[in-house]
Chain A
Amino acid sequence: MRYSFLTLAREALSGHRGWRPLWRDAAPRGRYEVVIVGAGGHGLATAYYLARNHGITDVAVLEKGWLGGGNTARNTTIVRSNYLWDESAALYEHSLKLWEGLAEELDFNLMFSQRGVLNLAHNLHDVREGRRRVEANRRNGIDAEWLGPAEVKKLCPPIDVSPTARYPVLGATLQRRGGVARHDAVAWGYARAADARGVDIVENCEVTGFRIEAGRVRGVETTRGYIAANRVGLVAAGHSSVLAALAGFRLPIQSHPLQALVSEPLKPVLPCVVMSNAVHVYVSQSDKGELVIGAGIDAYNSYAQRGAFHVIESQMGALLELFPTFSRLKMMRSWGGIVDVCPDASPIIGKTPIENLFINCGWGTGGFKATPGSGWVFAHLLATGEPHPLAAPFALERFSTGVLVDEHGAAAVAH
């Protein structure tokens, strides 16, 4: 075991000079069995499960910037699986089950904390939708509870549940197994485990084109030279459309800024994750004590990793509507990521019009929770050429067959 109480004690006594880098700074070779584009959580998980589940280690993960510097480093880390439709429930629940054993498996502290996720209801429609989702979740074997306002107040004392509020809390769904995790640690843990199994992780290596012969991908052009590959997997989140355009096809994806911010640190005050679609804010408290706050996308298409102030202003308004007690709190930092938004708020995992070129994208505002499951099913696709049963409903063809997995209408979406 690389990280144990013993190693920690030994390093503490020897001035922490014995720690080694978590992964090699690999220089790209000329050819791989599988090339994965994008070293975010999803790309790294894919590489890890290719090695672990399928014994394929002749793999490179190419990253244009630094590992985990995209949405992996920018999200608000909410993890849950209480989606309405069977297809999503199965995929996100598979992921949540993997989360539950992941820190142990990777021997890496992911600070995974199942503190419970509340989705608040503020009007009759929210209540009906929430109760329906609780029943649907239970039928899919996912833990779900319906709470009345008094129970919400008991679980999360700082929430204002007074009936005179402008948007009164009429109840909430609760998934106790939901929670938060340390985003960076997930990327680093997967990177270290994949590297240990022989995967090359190549940073500062941007894919700038594809070599395609007779409709089949042969390799990728990069800023560090041409790299041949039998199979190529695109896991580039907000930049998926850019890569698809280089390969000559289009996606139903729009790239939008999504912003988040953190407050100054507080003593423990918020015991669970609170999400509200109606007033539109999501908040949890980090182990450092900061409130981590997010909400909706900026309206326009953008790749600029920043958004407008009025979007933050409206999520602060929503925060104070729910928690008047936070009104004197100072905000410390805000930032933006670029999310790949799909029309039905579900991911795209599957084949592309180019043979042996596969894509995993469209996770939009809510893919962090899916990191392990997404890697698991995408590794299956890259190893076997055929979709994993959990991923089959999420193929690109659903946009022409019309069999969408509409999690927008099903509320409780986002994050």
Chain B
Amino acid sequence: MLLIPCPFCGPRDEVEFRYGGEAGIVRPKDPDALSDAEWADYLYMRHNPKGRLEERWFHVHGCRRWFTIARSTATHEIERE
């Protein structure tokens, strides 16, 4: 089980959180201007790296806030600033 550092509540058990996947995916400003391929790229395509991943977590059973951490998908190690 991961010990996830919530920036608001401190380190808490993984069971208190919901996973949000890859961070930094920005909704296009003007979706109508995109081609189907560009829209699919935003909606579905992901980096899914083996190694460092910046990802979103939601502290659903705590402060109910979203935040971003960097974690290795190869070792599960979480980076601390």
Using CB atoms and an 8 Å cutoff, list the residues of chain A in contact with chain B.
Answer: 239, 241-242, 245, 250-255, 299-304, 308-310, 343, 399-402
Given contacts A254-B21, A304-B74, A309-B1, contact A400 B36 (CB under 8 A): yes
| B53-A308 in contact (CB<8A) | no
Do A300 and B36 have beta carbons less than 8 Å apart?
no
| Distance from B78 Cβ to chain A, minimum over Cβ atoms (Å) | 11
Q: Which residue in A302, A304, A400 is a CB contact (below 8 Å) of B40?
A: A400
Select one of A245, A255, A308, A400 contacting B73, CB under 8 A: A255
Q: Contact at A301–B21, with CB atoms within 8 Å?
A: yes
Q: Which residues from 45 to 60 on chain B have a C-beta closer than 8 Å to any C-beta of chain A?
A: 45-50, 53, 55
Q: Is the pair B73, A250 in contact by a Cβ cutoff of 8 Å?
A: no
Q: A304 vs B77: C-alpha distance in the bound complex, in angstroms?
A: 11
B81 within 8 A of A: no
What are the 8 closest A-B residue pairs judged by CB atoms, nearest first? A252-B44, A241-B48, A400-B40, A299-B19, A250-B45, A400-B36, A308-B1, A399-B40
Q: CA–CA, A343 to B40, complex, Å? A: 12
Nearest A residue to B14, CB-CB? A308
Cβ of A345 to closest chain B Cβ, rounded Å: 13
For A254, A300, A308, which residue has the most chain B Cβ atoms within 10 angstroms?
A: A300
Residues in B neighbouring A254, C-beta threshold 8 A: 21, 46, 48
Q: In the docked arrangement, what's the CA distance between A309 and B45, Å?
A: 30
Residue B9 interfacial (CB < 8 Å): no
Quick one: closest B residue to A299, CB to CB? B19
Chain B residues lying within 8 Å of A301, measured Cβ to Cβ, are 21-22, 48, 53, 55, 73
Q: Are B46 and A241 in contact (CB under 8 A)?
A: yes
User: Given A309-B1, A400-B36: A304 and B73 within 8 A (CB)?
Assistant: yes
Q: Are A400 and B37 in contact (CB under 8 A)?
A: yes
A241 to B45, CA, bound (A): 10
| Docked complex Cα distance between A310 and B49 (Å) | 25
Q: Is B39 at the interface (CB under 8 A from chain A)?
A: yes
B47 to chain A minimum Cβ distance, whole angstroms, is: 7
Q: Is the CB of A250 within 8 A of B55?
A: no
B2 is an interface residue with CB less than 8 A from chain A: yes
Interface residues of B (CB under 8 A from A): 1-2, 14-15, 18-19, 21-22, 36-37, 39-41, 43-50, 53, 55, 71, 73-76
B contact patch SS: mixed
Q: How far is the CA of A239 from the CA of B74 in the complex (A)?
A: 12
* Residues of chain A contacted by B22 (CB below 8 angstroms): 301
Q: When chains A and B are docked, how far (Å) is the Cα of A251 from the Cα of B44?
A: 8
Residues in chain B near residue A308, CB distance under 8 A: 1-2, 14
Closest to A341 in B: B48
Q: Are B44 and A310 in contact (CB under 8 A)?
A: no
- CB pair B48–A302 under 8 Å, yes or no, is no
Q: List 13 A-B contacts (CB under 8 A).
A: A245-B47, A250-B41, A251-B48, A252-B46, A253-B46, A255-B50, A255-B73, A300-B55, A301-B55, A302-B73, A304-B75, A309-B1, A400-B37
Q: Give Cα A253–Cα B74 distance, bound, in whole angstroms.
A: 16
Bound CA span A343–B43, Å: 10
The residue that B39 contacts in the complex, of A242, A253, A400, with Cβ under 8 A, is A400
**Min C-beta distance of A237 to chain B, whole Å:** 13
B36 (CB) vs chain A CBs: closest residue:
A400
Report the separation of the CA atoms of residues A253 and B63 in the bound assembly, to the nearest whole angstrom: 30
Complex Cα–Cα for A400 and B41 (A): 8
Q: Min CB distance, B60 to chain A, in Å?
A: 11
A300 partner residues in chain B, CB cutoff 8 A: 2, 19, 55, 71, 73
The chain B residue sitting closest to A242, CB to CB, is B50
A301, closest chain B residue (CB): B73
Quick check: B45 and A251 within 8 Å, CB to CB? yes
Cα A309 to Cα B50 in complex, Å, equals 22
The answer to whether A399 and B73 touch across the interface, beta carbons within 8 angstroms, is no
Select from chain A the residue with minimum beta-carbon distance to B46. A254
Are A303 and B46 in contact, CB atoms less than 8 angstroms apart? no
Please give, as numbers and ranges, the residues of chain B lying within 8 Å of A399 by CB-CB distance: 40, 43-45
